[in-house]
């Protein structure tokens, strides 16, 4: 599946703005502001990339609104590969909800490993929110 992409620098931070045909599941920005983001870099000729595609689409549906799952095709947006210094496919980069890179994996990644990393990041985000709420309550007393 080919997407049309446009590179974008927002507020001095690296971001990519994705424009995809109607009905395309994996569209958006990398990293998505305020959301945990998993970016998968691949190419249509890559067998492991093709094998991972159903996992990405499944996780994108399951975590909708909580985690942004993004696919970046090297044939469509080679400049993204240069920007993120991707040297092999598939490669996955995980960003926390602050847009900070927290994980990097080169090679095939199974659905369970993707889910494990995402759940770990969601837990960290929930823990951070709980800590902030606790501090806020303590400062009001």
First vs last Cα of the chain: how many Å apart?
55
If one looks up domain 4-140 in CATH, what number appears? Answer: 3.40.30.10
Q: 29 vs 14, 19, 83, 108, 138, CA distance in Å?
A: 10, 9, 14, 22, 36
Write the pLDDT tens digit of every residue in 86-124: 999 999 999 999 999 999 999 999 999 999 999 999 999
pLDDT of residue 41: 93
pLDDT of residue 4: 28
Of the chain, the percentage scoring pLDDT greater than 70 comes to: 79
**pTM of full prediction above 0.85:** no
DSSP 32: P
DSSP 64: T
pLDDT of residue 138: 82
DSSP 8: E
Tokens 């496919």, residue located:
89
Count helices and strands (H / E) in the chain: 3, 7
């Amino acid at each position: 599946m080919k997407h049309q992409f446009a590179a974008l620098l927002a507020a001095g931070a690296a971001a990519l703005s994705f424009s995809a045909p109607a009905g395309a599941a994996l569209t958006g920005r990398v990293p998505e502001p305020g959301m945990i983001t998993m970016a998968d870099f691949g190419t249509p000729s890559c067998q492991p990339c093709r094998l991972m595609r159903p996992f990405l689409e499944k996780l994108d549906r399951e975590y909708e609104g909580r985690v942004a799952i993004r696919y970046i095709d090297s044939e469509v947006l080679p400049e993204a590969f240069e920007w993120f210094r991707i040297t092999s496919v598939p490669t996955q980069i995980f960003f926390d909800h602050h847009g900070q890179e927290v994980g990097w994996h080169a090679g095939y990644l199974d659905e369970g490993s993707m889910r494990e990393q995402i759940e770990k990041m969601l837990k960290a985000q929930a823990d951070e929110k709980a800590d902030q709420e606790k501090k806020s309550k303590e400062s009001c007393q």
